[in-house]
Amino acid sequence: MSPIADPRTRHWAGSGLLALALLLMAARLRPAQAPPTRARAYTRAAHLMGSQFTFTAVSSDDSLAWRALRAGLRETQRIDHLCSYWDSTSQVVKINQLAGIRPVVVDQEVYDLIQRTLKIAALSGGAFDITFASGDKIYKFDRLAHPSLPDSATVRRSVRRIGWQKVQLNAAAHSVYLPEKGMRINLAGILQGYGVRRASEVMKRLGIAGGLLNGSGDVYCWGRQPDGSQWRIAIGDPARPRTVSSWLTVSDLAVVTAGNYEQYFTVGGRYYGHIINPHTGYPATGLRSVTIICPDVELADALDDAVFVLGPTEGLGLINRLKGVSATVITDDGQTLVSKGLQLNSYHSAAPAAAVSPPSNP
């Protein structure tokens, strides 16, 4: 007997066709699956730490993106209240108020941040110094032409209380003490970078795989843009505000820029910016812009001020000695210089960057 003539075969074949028909019917009745949502960039801005912050999160989940952006901004606000030079309730203000009186017990977070600033001060030979706030305010950075600089005696007196070595830390008590009345610390040179770093950590923990945070020129980006490309970061041209001199394509890096082209005055046509040399009391000169590139946005935020004070040769010499850190600077005469190994994408109108080798040992 052939298999077709076998009634058992016909039975099982018929059941199989019925089962197939039922599956096809179920498939037609089942709702069609929506295509996966494509990632897009979500952005939120806020005024924090006296500056404009813009946070961007890349996600295919709008609820997650907005939740992460709110969390990042809240974290930055928290740090601002904790360490602000202007907020009367901050721990930094309390340290300053009790200078020359007694040590102040602070949160471990604040203690650790101050300790890191002192390490950067030592690394830079005091070019970065949070006690710069102890200096007398003898300059007005009003973008106007002034007849002259203050006399040398006034300038010398203005920095008499400055000195990062004077700051006393007690690790056991988590206390900070400024031994002289009138001494003050100000974390402004590192606080925006610290705020951006902590905000990015919060957003990553919530599941944001790509983002860009910009705290008034302190930029940190990670992951990719919605189209899968890396982030493109522009570096401004001090000679032509709101224009670009060069750009970088990066990911998982900080690109932090400081410039003296917004807060300055001039004397005899020479620019004097708001970054003060803590050793001399005079505004740092020789540079119009400093950009630091490295994985740590907090470190980059401090190093840009240090390089500004050290000047082009010593400043880039310092960067060349640091592993994983690069820099580009624009000098007073408009020349673009870079640390060893850094490749910039220059716009056609800009002159090509020149590398600066580390200074030879004496």
Indicate left, alpha or beta for 311 from its phi (over 0: left) and psi (-120 to 50: alpha). left
**Rounded Cα gap, residues 219 and 214, in angstroms:** 4
Contact yes or no for 159/135 (Cβ under 8 A): yes
301 labelled ligand-binding: yes
**Rounded Cα gap, residues 267 and 358, in angstroms:** 32
- E strands of the chain, at which residues? 40-48, 51-59, 104-105, 168-170, 175-177, 210-215, 218-222, 231-236, 244-250, 253-259, 264-267, 270-273, 287-294, 326-331, 336-338, 345-346, 354-355
**Rounded Cα gap, residues 53 and 48, in angstroms:** 6
What the block records as the tokens of 198 is: 């902590």
Angle between helix 188-205 and 62-83 (nearest 10): 150
- What is the per-residue burial (b if ≥16 Cβ within 10 Å, else e) of 283-313? bbbbbbbbbbbbebbbbbbbbbbbbbbbbbe
Amino acid at 75: E
Contact yes or no for 302/189 (Cβ under 8 A): yes
**Rounded Cα gap, residues 335 and 332, in angstroms:** 7
Contact yes or no for 133/184 (Cβ under 8 A): yes
What the block records as the tokens of 217 is: 């020129």
**Rounded Cα gap, residues 57 and 44, in angstroms:** 9
What the block records as the tokens of 299 is: 């470190």
Name the burial class of residue 101, with classes exposed (0-12), middle (13-18) and buried (19+) by CB atoms within 10 angstroms of its CB.
exposed
What the block records as the tokens of 132 is: 């710069």
- Known binding-site positions: 189, 301
- Known binding-site positions for Mg(2+): 189, 301
